[in-house]
Amino acid sequence: KKFVYSFNEGSKDMKDLLGGKGANLAEMTKIGLPVPFGFTVTTEACNRYYEENQTIADDIVADIFEKLSDLEHVTGKQFGSVENPLLVSVRSGAKISMPGMMDTILNLGLNDNTVEGLAKLTENPRFAYDSYRRFIQMFGDVVMEIPKTKFDAIFDSKKEKEGCEFDVDLTTEHLQDIIVNYKKLVKEEMGRNFPQEPKDQLMEAVMAVFRSWNNERAILYRQLNDIPGSIGTAVNVQSMVFGNMGDTSGTGVAFTRNPANGEKKLFGEFLVNAQGEDVVAGIRTPQPIAEMAEAFPEVYKEFTRISELLEKHYTDMQDMEFTVERNKLFMLQTRNGKRTAAAAVKIAVDMEKEGLIDKKTAVTRLEPAMIDQLLHPKFDDAELAAAERLTKGLPASPGAATGKIYFNAADAVAAVENGNPAVLVRLETSPEDLAGMVAAEGILTARGGMTSHAAVVARGMGKCCVSGCAEIKVDEEAKTLTIGSDVFKEGDYISLDGTAGEVLKGQIKTVPPELSGDFGTIMQWADEIRTLKIRTNADNPRDAKQAVDFGAEGIGLCRTEHMFFEEERIPAVRRMILADSEEERREALSFLLPYQKSDFKGIYEAMGDRPVTIRLLDPPLHEFLPHTDEEIKQLSAQINVPYEKLAKKTEELHEFNPMLGHRGCRLAVTYPEIAEMQAEAIIMAAIEVRKEQGLDIVPEIMIPLVGLKKELADVKATVVQTVEKVMEREGVKFDYLIGTMIEIPRAALTADEIAEEAEFFSFGTNDLTQMTFGFSRDDTGQIIREYRDKGIFDDDPFQSIDQVGVGQLVKMAVEKGKATRPNIKLGICGEHGGDPKSIEFCHNIGLQYVSCSPFRVPIARLAAAQAAV
Ligand code: PEP
Ligand code: MG
């Protein structure tokens, strides 16, 4: 088995094995682009490293050294040679790119001897010793895990001692002194010398990359992005080229189109006389790529040609890294570029129009979860116009954010947990800030360009970010932000306009987004492609309208319990629950009937001629009961029942396990009058809206939490009797459907019997997951987080359906249901109905619709289209 591939042995289709970076380096090599030669240690080697107790097996070591000798052959250089030393970079590269999460080592191969060789060869001793001190520093930090600050302290004190203002003022001798002290530091910290043998350096570096796969930041990033830990990372070993060889050298990153807004124009930055990480880390502020045309006219032309070629080759927007060494261009990386949702939409539509991709491909170019960004508010125009602009930075990631400022990730996280919207303000961000970036509404940094860590990560998360804001002073210690004469303290409000790159004073109102233009176009394509219908879960006209605006084609679940909580009604609801007799209960219900009828009318009107599924009352009764003594006293006065009696009754109704108790269809079995009232309201509302609006409403009445055919039959009989009675009384006749939820495992197991009574099934995968796993929906958040940390769960089964277990029940119920009733209507209304992976599953097993919350409707439309291509 092969664990190491030279760049000329792979291709872009080998991402699983070579990682994204490795596969693309191989592809670029294959199509003849100038790529410094190298090799890739596979992800399988990483997995073996972990299987074999964090060691590298001898056969893999042998493979690495074999490819190394090929590399020496191709470059004509040699590891450890003084005359012509081979130097390499070692970089991680998983299948899915994880920006800022993993580590890079440059200049590997340098030691006390080869550094002299490099000095002679380049006729530039200063460059050679600067490379060596950078290498020791990087290796010490990443491989040996010696705190970076200790290296910085040595470096800064030397600068100070010699009176050097800038790094470039340090002479060769100064750098040599620094190297001596760096090596002393290593000896002190590690109890051993800095490794001088390049092969040892290489093997230590490879293992460090493997180790970094499981560092905290990498694990957190994977969790946030649903990347399984089992895929492992590859390691790329590539011969070095130098961007820091003087003014004819440089390095940069560029996108073939603008990743913030999608504009078709080369977009990026470069730095003259600099090495790789300088740009990405945002330590020096780089120049826009267009200025490269002046600095390196020939190279710029070549780079433009290659970037166009790469975009056509991959038929997608590319994110490229390159280095210029003495006027010669080298490509170090290309990958499909990360982009904002707005950019993704524009690029997909533009590329279809350019004939680069077809509609089906265009639809797959949008991450469904990302379009969330487009559905959320922007600043109110008037308030924005009136707002005081404090300063401008780079528009690193679009959107609008208003919040209180915090100066480190932990404070931002704590503030958000306490219900305060936060804006994270930092000099520059690093991967350690990730949790704070996730929690914050927006991010503001003093340093760093459009491709700095803050910018890249914020865009990926769809979070508003203004970076490289040179005019602000951030004192992270004192927790102050100074802009001109304004001084802001922790907890003061500011606002960020990530689209314009502006920082604004105070709090600014936000407004809903626009859904036309390119976004409308791509959603229309999605609608043409998908076969699943998309309904929504809504229980009031406002949400129903919002969902229709977002493209919902019906209501899949109208939960009636929310309507019972309204202020005027809750006393009647409680009276109904606490009633001693059927008569008393009917009296309370008759008070509720007109309210329910008007609820349903509002919803029918909002939905027009789209289908509406209304579910009978479902929740545990205890949710409606008073809990504290205080509440019981209040209620006793309100409904005129003596306190003692009320307290006793409440006690009687107490349940230890309400989610498994008096709820769902059990309510209607034990108190049929509740179902009667609701059925009457549903039909009366339909009759009136049919008359008033001329709409052909066909109510779909849904009975929840059924586990037995007979219990469904019992409640159905109540409903049918009521409906027939009302229709006869009103002198009308029209169709209606009665169906059930499948949300108890027994219902799935006996779906063939249940289908004898049910005209439709709607899978309640929230309860079905709860009951199949025996995991409480409401109490197990922490446990599930720990299960995910330990890799027991890849996903939270309440968010993405557990296809193996719960999904099997759903599939079985679909088959059994169809066997009894071939034209049975099938849908899903649990939270999973808005989750792209679960939607794909629903498509594959033949459901006819998914139903999700209004804001997820566009996501579901897109995910359904992607499932169909
Ligand atoms: C379900 O259980 O999946 C469902 C949709 O019902 P609820 O969330 O109201 O229990
Ligand atoms: Mg349920």
CB of 246 closer than 8 Å to CB of 253: no
Q: Which of 665, 829, 842, 852 is catalytic?
A: 829
Identify whether 453 is a catalytic site residue.
yes
Rounded Cα distance between 487 and 785, Å, is: 40
pLDDT attached to residue 277: 61
Task: Quote the pLDDT of residue 516.
Answer: 75
Task: Enumerate residue ranges in the chain where pLDDT < 50.
Answer: 281
Q: Would you state the pLDDT for residue 443? A: 95
Ligand 1 closest atom vs CA 618 = 9
Whether the Cβ atoms of residue 396 and residue 450 lie closer than 8 Å to each other: yes
At a CB cut-off of 8 Å and minimum separation 6, what does 57 contact?
A: 48
Report whether 460 contacts 99 (CB < 8 A): yes
Give the C-alpha separation, 144 to 135, whole Å: 12
In the 8-state DSSP scheme, what is residue 757? T
Binding residues for Mg(2+) are 743, 767
The encoded tokens of residue 142 equal 């990443």
Query: Which of 743, 769, 831 to probe ligand 1 with, by most ligand atoms within 8 A of CB?
Result: 743
Rounded to an integer, what distance in angstroms lies between the CA atom of residue 478 and that of residue 484? 17
Q: Which of 537, 555, 766, 775 to mutate to test the pocket of ligand 1 (most atoms within 8 A of CB)?
A: 766
Question: In the chain, what are the domain boundaries?
Answer: 377-511
Which ligand 1 atom sits nearest the alpha carbon of residue 765? 3
- Indicate the top mutation candidate among 555, 617, 618, 767 to test ligand 1's pocket, ranked by most ligand atoms within 8 A of CB: 767
- Cα(405)–Cα(490) distance, integer angstroms: 5
What pLDDT sits at residue 226? 78
- Between β-strands 38-41 and 233-239, what pairing exists: parallel, antiparallel or unpaired? antiparallel
Q: Which atom of ligand 1 is nearest to the CA of 770?
A: 2
Residues 6+ apart with CB under 8 A from 762: 556, 557, 613, 702, 739, 740, 741, 742, 826, 827, 828, 829, 851
Ligand 1 atom having least distance to the Cα of 762: 5
Nearest residue (CA) to ligand 1, atom 10 = 767
549: three-class secondary structure by DSSP? helix
Whole-number Å distance, alpha carbon 663 to ligand 2 midpoint, is: 10
Nearest to 698 by CA among 665, 729, 723: 723
Q: Which amino acid is at 678?
A: Q
3-state secondary structure of 319: strand
CA distance 683 to 678: 9
Instruction: Find the 746 Cα to ligand 2 centroid distance in Å.
Output: 14
- Chain center to CA of 97: 14
Do the strands 38-41 and 4-6 form a parallel or antiparallel pair, or are they unpaired? antiparallel
DSSP state letters, 418-437: TT--EEEEESS--GGGHHHH
Q: How far is the CA of 556 from the centre of ligand 1 (A)?
A: 11
**Is 37:238 a contact under the CB 8 Å cutoff?**
yes
3-state SS, residue 133: helix
- pLDDT tens digits for 432-474? 788 899 899 999 999 877 667 787 777 656 688 998 888 899 9
Ligand 1 atom 1: residue of nearest CA? 764
- Which among 453, 464, 558, 665 is annotated as catalytic? 453
Tokens of 6: 């030279």
Q: Where are the alpha helices (DSSP H) in 213-238?
A: 216-224
Residues with CB under 6 A from ligand 1: 557, 559, 618, 743, 764-767, 829-830
- Collect all residues with Cβ–Cβ distance below 8 Å to 134 and sequence separation of at least 6: 106, 107, 275
Q: What are residue 259's phi and psi, to 5 degrees?
A: -75, -10
Q: Which atom of ligand 1 is nearest to the CA of 829?
A: 5
For residues 449 and 277, the answer to whether their CB atoms sit within 8 Å is no
Residues in binding site for substrate: 559, 615, 743, 764-767
Closest by Cα among 452, 367, 363, 442 to 401? 442
Nearest CA to ligand 1 atom 8: 766
Query: CA–CA separation, 629 vs 349, rounded Å?
Result: 61
Pairing relationship of beta strands 760-763 and 233-239 according to DSSP bridges: unpaired
Which run of H or of E encompasses 414? helix 409-417
Q: Looking at ligand 1, which atom is closest to the CA of residue 561?
A: 9
Q: How far is the CA of 623 from the centre of ligand 2 (A)?
A: 14
DSSP 34: -
Nearest CA-CA partner of 741 in 805, 677, 833: 833
620 C-alpha to ligand 2 centroid (Å) = 11
Domain 377-511: assigned CATH number: 3.50.30.10
CA of 617 from ligand 2 middle (Å) equals 11
Report how far ligand 1's centroid is from the alpha carbon of 77 (Å). Answer: 66
pLDDT the model gives residue 414: 94
Measure Cα distances from 492 to 39, 406, 419, 425 in Å. 52, 9, 15, 12
Asked whether the whole model's pTM tops 0.90, one would answer no
The answer to whether residues 557 and 868 touch, using CB atoms and an 8 Å cutoff, is no
